[in-house]
Amino acid sequence: MDGFSAELCESIRLTIELAILTTTILLIVGTPLAWWLARSKTMLAQVVGTVVMLPLVLPQTALGFCLLMLLGPHGPGGALASFWGARSLAFTFAGIVVGSVLSGLPLVVQQIQNAFIAMGDRPLEVAATLRASPLRAFFTVALPLARPNFITAGLLGFANTIGTFGAVLIIGGNIPGRTKVVSAFLIDYVQASRWREASWLAGGMLVFSLAVILTVTTINTCSRRSSR
């Protein structure tokens, strides 16, 4: 095993860690955000909704650069980092988590928000007339009804983190073992003209992406069939 392979293993571990953490944060943050965006009719909700969708169209490199400014030593991220004695959040694992959360947020929020909009007010009104407090109605009716979309949202968030490249590269600085993710590794292989390894890696990611899309499609078909 040469140095490259050991680094690749390290990178895969890091990428999966990042994806799991990002997906968890996305679901925790995305759910209340999607709920609020689906229910509120205020101008503020419109504005927040637009900002959340921004990473969908903003070039990843631009997103990464914005984050670099925000998380660097002179931005709010740096001020935050100074609490535990660090200089900056840029080029750290925390930094790439922030980057991948922001780039995955539109996908996750949109999925969950769609589910909340599609179910309408009816189920929650019915729950209220059956003495369920808003909190109980949310957990016993809204969440279970949105379950297929949650699974889809989670999968998309996970896959997006593995696929995301530009923002993480810029904010993370591509430091092996700390912020270097698998997608960045492919570039190294190509630059070193190691086509065999590059093919394997690209092929693996292709299979993974296909599996994710297939799972999402299957879930959508099944849930549509069961909720006639």
Smallest gap from residue 146 Cβ to other proteins (A): 10
Q: Check residue 222 for interaction with other proteins (CB under 8 A).
A: no
**Quick check: 198 binds other proteins (CB under 8 A)?**
no
Pick the closer one to other proteins by CB: 91 or 150.
Answer: 150
Letters for 105-124 (x = contact with other proteins by CB under 8 A, - = none) are: -----------------xx-
Alpha carbon separation from 135 to 139, 140, 141 (Å, rounded)? 6, 9, 10
Q: Which of 25, 66, 8, 9 is nearest to 158 (CA)?
A: 25
* Residue 17 or 125 with smaller CB distance to other proteins: 125
Please report how close the Cβ of residue 28 comes to other proteins at its closest, in angstroms. Answer: 22
Amino acid, res. 153:
A
Position of tokens 């968030």? 157
Could you say whether residue 221 binds other proteins (CB under 8 A)?
A: no
Q: Which is nearer to other proteins, 74 or 136 (CB)?
A: 136
At residue 129, φ and ψ (nearest 5 deg) are -70, -10
Please work out the total of residues on this chain that contact other proteins, with binding judged by CB under 8 A: 21
Query: What single string gives the DSSP state of each residue in 96-143?
Result: HHHHHHHHHHHHHHHHHHHHHHHH-SHHHHHHHHTT--HHHHIIIIIH
Q: Within 134-193, which residues bind other proteins (CB under 8 A)?
A: 134, 137, 140-141, 144-145, 147
Amino acid sitting at position 138: F
Closer to other proteins by CB, 122 or 196: give it: 122
User: Which amino acid does the sequence have at 85?
Assistant: G
According to CB under 8 A, which residues from 124 to 143 bind other proteins? 125-134, 137, 140-141
Separation between Cα atoms, residue 85 and residue 95, nearest integer Å: 16
Residues making contact with other proteins (CB under 8 A)? 122-123, 125-134, 137, 140-141, 144-145, 147, 226-228
